[in-house]
A and B are shown apart, each in its own frame.
Chain A
Amino acid sequence: MDLKALKAQESKRKISKGYMWALFCAVFWGIWYLPGTVVWVLNPFDEMYGAIAETSGDAVSLVVTAALITAFNALTVMLALMLWNGVLGKFGELGRTLKEFHPCSKWFFLASIFGGPVAILGSFMAMGFIGGAFAAVAALLYPVIGSVLAYYWYGEKISKRAATGIVIIILGGITIFGGGVITEIAAGGVPWIGYLGGLMAAAGWGIEGAIAGKGLDISEPDVGLTLRFLGENIIWWIIIVPILAIVGFPMYSYAFQAFEPLTLLVLIFAGITFGFCYVCWYKSFPLIGVGRGQGIGNLYGLCAIIFIFLFFGDVPEWTILIGGTLCVIGSFVMFTEETAALETLRGE
């Protein structure tokens, strides 16, 4: 085989690897909605929601319960990632990267602020005050924010074709969940705090991707990701949960009750799927760029619907089928991009 053919083959392999990681991210992210939904009806979270709602109202109760669930989610994700790094033999690199606060760790901790208490909590706020449909639609817009930030901040190229693909995927996402949103808006009053939550979800995840890209380009993705979740665990378990406990919510008594077999199993399942969705997400960024990685990752909307249908038996509406088709078309627009244009993702 001659040099040119080998070169083209190698570049193609690299880019298809990047897209493969992004697609795996979408599948894991979609599966995550199963334990993420189930955990709300399990004790102690079910009891906790009821107990706090009686004294402080539904809204406060929902945010506080969501905070504890998110904290446990962060914990099990961290466990899954430690195992992953152990298998890859990367503990040494983990320690070396952690020490580099100025060039690396700083960015991962910043990313964890936008990913955890902004994006994930924002999603739960949107789910609680408006509904899951709105939360998902709002979150689907994050690649727009991520791509625009990456473009202005560190000059990442977005080709017209990639932009077109991202737009089609977003249109698909809006169609999938649009029916539900219209119903909710028709039902009356505008719950502003929910819209704020939706904005937090889209902005939080978009900013997280762009910030993480900054530390990620000089560190290893598996390691960077673990540090990002280390940051989130510190935020939840050392800052937010104790503050909520001091304010008077029974955080610890319910937290200790989470150690029962079924609840633990569901939490661990959530940790593994969420953890590996992030592993795949972060791995795709250096290969295909933040914008494209996030765009393909957005197929999670379609994956979530398929898995929810398979496991809970919720039959999809026609808007979901059309939206899903749009998502697939959008991803193919991005897939078929000329590989030469991708050889270097950034301007020199």
Chain B
Amino acid sequence: MGKNRPIKFRILELFLDGEEHWNYEIVSKIQQEYNMQGNYGRDSINFDIIELASGGMLKDVEQKVDEEGIYKKDFLLHKYVITDFGKVRGSDACVRYM
């Protein structure tokens, strides 16, 4: 499910469980689902998450420095949770699956 939907819909859908998720978890899941391997795919998905956060749909709740290089070494890792506005927009967009 969700595979044929726009990437941002799928990202919101993943967050609709109400849990907190790290950006690298979401990015690698989407990379797998949409067959977007490589650095370009990774950065473009991460940018989608950033846009959703600056649009007020996701909230940045925790950060840590990527010391081991699980995602991008010495860059910040972000943990997000969906906001009420995100839930409204998300369930609006994902209504087919609710």
Contacts and interface: CB of A to CB of B under 8 A. Distances in A.
Nearest to B8: A218
Chain B CB count within 10 A is highest, among A14, A104, A217, A347, for A217
Interface string B11-54: 01000000000000000000000100000100000001011111
B77 to A, nearest CB: 10
B73 interface: no
Contact of B85 (A100, A103, A104, A346): A346
B54 A220 contact: no
- Range, interface on chain A: 20 to 34
A6 B8 contact: no
Q: Please indicate which of the listed interface residues B4, B56, B64 has the most CB atoms of chain A within 10 Å of its own CB.
A: B56
Contact of A346 (B5, B34, B56, B92): B56
B61 interface: no
Contact of A93 (B6, B50, B51, B59): B6
A3 B64 CA distance: 7
Interface in A163-214: none
A96 B8 CA distance: 11
A163 B16 CA distance: 34
A197 B43 CA distance: 43
18 contacts: A6-B63, A6-B76, A7-B76, A10-B76, A100-B9, A103-B92, A103-B93, A104-B6, A218-B12, A219-B8, A220-B8, A220-B48, A287-B51, A344-B53, A344-B54, A344-B59, A348-B59, A348-B83
Interface of B: 4-9, 12, 34, 40, 48, 50-57, 59, 63-65, 74-76, 83-85, 89, 92-93, 95
> Top 10 nearest A-B pairs by Cβ distance?
A346-B56, A286-B51, A103-B93, A217-B55, A97-B6, A96-B6, A6-B76, A218-B8, A218-B93, A348-B83
Interface of A: 1, 3, 6-7, 10, 14, 89, 92-93, 96-97, 99-100, 102-104, 217-221, 223, 286-287, 344-348
Given A10-B76, A217-B52, 17 more contacts: A14-B50, A14-B54, A99-B4, A100-B93, A104-B6, A217-B89, A218-B6, A218-B12, A218-B93, A220-B6, A223-B6, A344-B54, A344-B56, A344-B59, A345-B55, A346-B56, A348-B83
